[in-house]
């Protein structure tokens, strides 16, 4: 039996007959839920962990201050480049 068959939904599969029993009892979910996978989205979880670490190191106050500065800069640049073009009422 391939090693990848050794763990399915928290059950240890010890013999092919165990796997065949799972097949007989299987009923697909209805609607969109039938497309869900039982495997954890490992890449997404790893990237989320990195993002959370960055936020914790930087601190929410620092992130907020920078977001306010970036918003002010964006508004300033839009006003500089778009004023008089009719894009800004």
Domain ranges within the chain, ordered by starting residue? 3-35, 42-82
**pLDDT score recorded for residue 2:** 45
Q: 29-78, pLDDT tens digit by residue?
A: 788 877 776 666 778 888 899 999 999 999 999 999 999 999 999 999 99
**pLDDT score recorded for residue 87:** 78
3-state percent breakdown (helix, strand, coil) of the chain, nearest 5: 65, 5, 30
Q: pLDDT higher for 3 or 25?
A: 25
Q: Is 84 left (phi over 0), alpha (psi -120 to 50) or beta?
A: left
**pLDDT score recorded for residue 68:** 98
Is the torsion defined by CA of 33, 35, 39, 45 positive or negative? negative
């Amino acid at each position: 039996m391939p090693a990848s068959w050794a763990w399915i939904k928290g059950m240890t599969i010890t013999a092919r007959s165990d796997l065949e029993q799972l097949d007989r009892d299987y009923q697909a979910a209805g609607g969109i839920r039938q497309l869900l996978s039982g495997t954890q989205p490992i890449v997404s979880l790893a990237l989320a962990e990195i993002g959370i670490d960055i936020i914790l190191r930087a601190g929410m106050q620092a992130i907020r201050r920078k977001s306010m500065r970036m918003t002010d800069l964006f508004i300033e640049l839009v006003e500089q480049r778009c004023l008089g073009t009719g894009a800004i009422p």
